[in-house]
Amino acid sequence: MKPAGAAAFAVPGSRLSRLARLGSLASGVAGGMIAEGVRQFAQGRRPRVGELLLTPANARRVADQLAQLRGAAMKVGQLLSMDAGDLIPPELAAILAQLRADARPMPMSQLVAVLEGSWGAGWEQQFERFSFTPLAAASIGQVHAATTRAGARLAVKVQYPGVRQSISSDVDNVAGLLRLSGLLPKSLDIAPLLAEAKRQLHEEADYLSEGAHLTRYRGLLADSADFVLPEVDAGLTRDNILAMSFVDGVAVESLADAAQAERDRVMTLLFALLFREIFDFRLVQTDPNFANYLYDPATRRLVLLDFGATRAYAAERVEAYRRLLAAGMRQGLAALDEAAAELGYFQQGIRADHRRMVLDIFLLACEPLRQQGAYDFGHSSLAARMRDAGMRLGYDRDFWHTPPIDALFLHRKIGGLYLLAARLGVRVDIGALFLQHA
């Protein structure tokens, strides 16, 4: 989630009103294309359809409308921008990437209606204070601070109305719009992504399920004094409202100004947690958003938030990932190829050069594992090299292939940690952390 500061927009609650939004978006994009085409013809140019579609005005139009729809419409854009990565045109990636930081709160009248519908009339009598200005807003809901009559400080996540009921239709409508626009390659099979977007969204929209994941993680990390997690208030939690104890902390990015040793310690904790999630818990919180981590300067503990995108991994898949990372660490191409094939990274009939390019990307991603001692993320060009390798593969239209879904979610999590490590300029002995589980 991001801090709420943008103007409030009512979330369309009915399927009809949401479909109308998408219809007006399609009309607006078409109108923009016509206007741009007329302008370029007047200048003596014969523009391509892609040039007309990908104007700055149309890009903003797409991002604005999906941001106002929130819910599934916004999330499918986020999933495509983060998961398909370099396998979609960079212009589309730029449009969709705007959605990751473009959530807008719902107006107070709509918020009150949601609270009354879930808690009943007179709900406010349970609270000493309830702040109607959200602390943060995201694609599925927004968070409010509250204090109960008993003095308990809470963070209350309230889901946008209509999100759960519109998931399947929103995902299909947005995907259809993107297909119709020509922005997505016809050869790119996004059906697995869309099916997974629907499944994940239904789970994320069930706050009772998220509360259960949070409670389970609290138990799994009960042996660690380095982490603190909110506690679910079961009495106030509903399927569309998640009430939790309020945990203080500052944005983890603020550690950029902290001492090197403290930055290194914090990221070492996060990478160690990732390996525990994969190999010990077989349960991974897959959302890489930096806002899901806070830092408490007083206790030096990390605060973990938002368990909606929690994913369980089967034991045999975990073992295959273990072999994949071990092979990448040793630069063993045969073992790397075997593990990648078992996990489904190679489509049937893949060309030998494409297969090797995929393996080279794995070797790049495992570079921190091969470093003797601490890997210096702050002075590494790893992210740029991985991006360039992915773009070379992605621009080859003969390759376009959607990786296995569970792998995409791990890619998101690992990529997010790499990005945070680079942002904080840390040095972490990744190889030593992995060897504890190899």
What is the CATH code of the structural domain delimited by 107-159+206-247? 3.30.200.20
Q: How confident is the model at residue 85, as a pLDDT?
A: 43
Determine the average pLDDT of the residues in 10-36.
45
Task: Identify the active-site residue in 170, 233, 264, 287.
Answer: 287
Q: 3-state class of 158 per DSSP? A: strand
The model's pLDDT over 115-164, given as tens digits with 9 standing for 90+, comes to: 999 999 999 999 999 999 998 877 678 999 999 999 999 999 999 888 78
The model's pLDDT over 246-278, given as tens digits with 9 standing for 90+, comes to: 999 999 999 999 999 999 999 999 999 999 999
Determine the average pLDDT of the residues in 330-335.
91
Buried b (16+ CB within 10 A) or exposed e, 249-287: beebeebeebeeeebbbbbbbbbbbbbbbbbebebbbbb
423 or 3, greater pLDDT:
423
Active site residue 287: yes
Q: Is 282 left (phi over 0), alpha (psi -120 to 50) or beta?
A: left
Phi, psi of 9, deg, nearest 5: -135, 130
Helix/strand/coil percentages in the chain, nearest 5: 60, 10, 30
Q: What are the structural domain ranges in the chain?
A: 2-103+167-183, 107-159+206-247, 249-438
Tell how far CA 294 is from the center of its chain.
Answer: 17
